[in-house]
Structure formats: structure tokens, C-alpha cells
Amino acid sequence: MKSYNIIGTSQPRVDALEKVTGSAMFTADYNTPKMLHLKAVRSELPHGKIVSLDTTEAEKLSGVRGALRPEDVPDKRSESVLRIALYCRGIKLCVLLVSRLF
């Protein structure tokens, strides 16, 4: 059986200096030209069923490039991401594609 001398010991963090000084780059820190962000629109109601979802007003807002609704995703597994049935407050109703976060 191999002997592991790392388990149970303190190891130096090679990125510690960058993290504590604020110079470390995280995924959210990267921006590219024409990059889009996803912004989830969540339910404010604790229970119900979505009969229709009109995103035309949201799509008219500055910076919004489009909207993704449950009916736009043909795969049945998508219901885990975008819900039609509401069982608690905060369920994702749709996702907006935006050029900047607001």
C-alpha cells in the first residue's frame, strides 16, 4: 500500500498572494468583445403554473439581446432549468441574454 505524505498536512497555496491582494482573475473577471451574459428571471410567487410568458417588454430593454423560455428548449430535461410548474419562490422562469449585467 502506498504511503501518502500529503494527506492531513498543510500545503502552501500557490495562488494565495494573488487572492489576498485582489489581483487574481476569476471566471467572472473575463470579458470578450460581443460577450453575452445570462440573467435568470425568477418567480415571485410560491406556487402556480405558468400559462403564458410574454418576454416582449423585456426584449425591448437596452442591452437585452434575446430571451430563452421553457418552450424554446425542446429537450424535456430542460424543465430542471426552466420551470413551467412553480413549487417555491425563486424558480427560474426564463433566461435573458444581455450584453451587460444590470
Half-sphere exposure of 7 (CA within 13 A, CB side): 3
In terms of DSSP H, where are the helices of 1-102?
A: 16-21, 56-59
State if pTM tops 0.85.
Answer: no
Look up residue 2 and give its DSSP letter: P
pLDDT of residue 19: 93
CA 63 to chain centre: 17
End-to-end CA gap in the chain? 55
Domains of the chain as residue ranges with CATH = 32-98 (3.90.1170.50)
Q: Tens digits of per-residue pLDDT, 31-78? A: 888 888 888 777 777 777 777 778 888 888 888 888 887 777 766 554
CA distances from 102 to 33, 74, 75, 80 (A): 18, 28, 29, 25
